[in-house]
């Protein structure tokens, strides 16, 4: 089945530094990628939607200059948390939609990245 590889699974960084999270679709082309964040016991919050080759669409309240999303190819999307602060500590997860049409499409989730900013 479809697999999305998300790295790193855990990262600890110092306040003020930047962190890049990668999501790769291993055996399919991800036409659309979704990025979420989640705090403990809270629901996932959609941060942005990115389509290959175009700019990401950010949800209201999400700073696009702080959370840089790049979807330069059909198999790779990255989320960069710039100038990270402790309040950015969270669980980040990506989800990819494959290129199927009609009813023949699917969504696959990465395994998530736990970011801790100290």
Binding stretches for another protein (CB under 8 A): 10, 32, 34, 36, 38, 40-41, 43-44, 46, 49, 59, 91, 93, 95, 97, 103, 105-107, 109, 112, 114
Whole-number minimum distance, CB 114 to another protein, in Å? 7
Q: Which is nearer to another protein, 24 or 97 (CB)?
A: 97
Q: Which is nearer to another protein, 8 or 16 (CB)?
A: 8
Is the Cβ–Cβ distance between 108 and 3 less than 8 Å?
yes
Whole-number minimum distance, CB 54 to another protein, in Å? 13
Whole-number minimum distance, CB 22 to another protein, in Å? 18
């Amino acid at each position: 089945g479809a697999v999305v590889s998300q790295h790193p699974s855990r990262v600890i960084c110092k306040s003020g530094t930047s962190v890049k999270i990668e999501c790769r679709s291993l055996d399919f082309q991800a036409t659309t990628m979704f990025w979420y964040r989640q705090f403990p016991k809270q629901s996932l919050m959609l941060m942005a939607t990115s389509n290959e080759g175009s700019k990401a669409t950010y949800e209201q309240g999400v700073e696009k200059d702080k959370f840089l999303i790049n979807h330069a190819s059909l198999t790779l999307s990255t989320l960069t948390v710039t100038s990270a602060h402790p309040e950015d500590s969270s669980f980040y997860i990506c989800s990819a939609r494959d290129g199927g049409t009609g009813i023949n499409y699917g969504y696959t989730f990465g395994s998530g990245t736990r970011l801790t900013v100290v």
